[in-house]
Structure 1
Amino acid sequence: MHYVTQRIGYNEWREFCGLARIDTLEDLKVVLRDDRVAEMILNMYQHPDNIDVWLGGLVENYLPNGRTGPLFACLIGKQMKALRDGDRFWWEADGVFKQKQKDELLKGSLSRVICDNTDIQEVPSDPFRFGKFPSEYVTCGNIPSINLEAWREETNKDYELCGSPTRIHNGDYILTFNAGKVTALYSCYHGFMLEGAAEIICEKSEWHPEAPRCTGK
């Protein structure tokens, strides 16, 4: 039995990212901005549809202030967004933090951490960018702090009746209070697999369904 697989090349991935296809040598010269390299690649692959996505992405001209061309910037961005949106514990996911807590978290910075934990009184507003001292430094008094009052626990009658959720071996949970409901979100430590419901809800003085467990792989 023979299986035929279709290779997805450079042009298909460009289309996937909403970029223009490369149909001619002139198209390739515009994207690469290096006529000699464009001619070498097309001479090697014979047709733009044959160009491999890895090579095509590597030789694209860099985006402004970037280290990749438009194709790799798109693919990396899409992958990172998928990883973020697929993480139910991501801090921006619904039910993890309240809006006022998110607003406070947005104030956090490494500069503020440095101010709070050292005797340094002047820091760059963005510590990940090189700045000349002292013209591009600011005093710690001008760096926003996080107000922890946003995390003050609210009294919830249902939670008082249900009590704390069941603790599990090789895992843990976080509590969320959303739309009047108390929910426990469970996860396992690295190397263990969750069996059962990852989310249980406090209803009628009890947690439903039963807490899951973490088993070795």
Structure 2
Amino acid sequence: MIGTAAPAAGPNTLLAEEVTEILLVLDSQQHMDLASLNLQRGRDHGLPGYNEWREFCGLEHVTTLDDLAEVVRDRRVAEKILHLYKHPNNIDVWLGGLVENFLPGSRTGPLFACLIGKQMKFLRDGDRFWWEAEGVFTKQQKEELLKSSLSQIICDNTDIQEIPKDSLRFGQYPAGYVHCSDLPSMSLDAWREEKSHDLQLCGSPKRIKNGDFIFSSKSGKLTALYSCYHGFKLKGAAEIVCEGNRWKHEPPQCTGEELG
């Protein structure tokens, strides 16, 4: 996969026939069409149309055939889409985003670049355990994590000896390939545990059933951040702080209520 170029994609060749003509689904005896399934799922969930999502991303509406042909860069494909949908506002967002001309150095057009970027940002900003969030890892640990790469992971877990520095970018062998020993690797010394003064005074916080905790110092005080395992709900404060030689407040509980 690393040494083979991805198939060229264009408005007329977006999906391989293996997924549009002979897709196998376990609970069906018939071959399925992934494109049709994606369109139907969007409609089942009531997703707004292509133009509404373009407006959401600050892009201009597609109102005419010329507009669509400019976005797609293939007038014949644009004509076929409008023939099927009758009006630009009827175009499904999945199809509209898929046929857009790629941005420079990208594998998506402007709409999908916007939506994927926003979704990833929301996932990152809403995750208090995100590795770059304050208090999750120390500065030294972050520096070690930055040394990691997909290429290094492949080297560590396979018999491959030569690999591109960036496995997500295609390179014709041997140009750009390096020996695995030349790739930077993480040092786990940054995770060597030494009890802090506060931890020695307060002792280890209580463990909870069906959950766990990590330490943080984002507030300047030693803090235990609790979370529950999948399928359990946190009841009580998620954080307890080490103050005055003891842990202030009792740890939360993880109730057995199934999350909806």
Q: CA deviation at 1:30?
A: 0.1
Cα shift readout 1:94-144 (whole Å, capped 9, x = no counterpart): 110122321211011244345567776544323444545544322344311
What's 1:10 paired with? 50
What is the TM-score with the length of structure 1 in the denominator? 0.82
Q: CA deviation at 1:89?
A: 1.0
SS at match of 1:172: strand
What's 1:190 paired with? 230
What is the TM-score with the length of structure 2 in the denominator? 0.70
Aligned length: 212
Change (3 A) 1:213 1:142: same
What's 1:201 paired with? 241
Q: CA RMSD in A?
A: 2.8
What's 1:77 paired with? 117
SS at match of 1:181: coil
Change (3 A) 1:12 1:158: same
Is 1:99 paired with 2:99? no
What's 2:76 paired with? 36
Cα shift readout 1:148-196 (whole Å, capped 9, x = no counterpart): 3433445533221111011011111111233531111111112212111
Query: Structure 2 regions of 5+ residues with no counterpart?
Result: 1-45
1:127-138 → structure 2 map (5 Å cutoff)? 127-138=167-178
Identity of aligned residues (%): 67
Is 1:172 paired with 2:212? yes
Change (3 A) 1:126 1:174: same
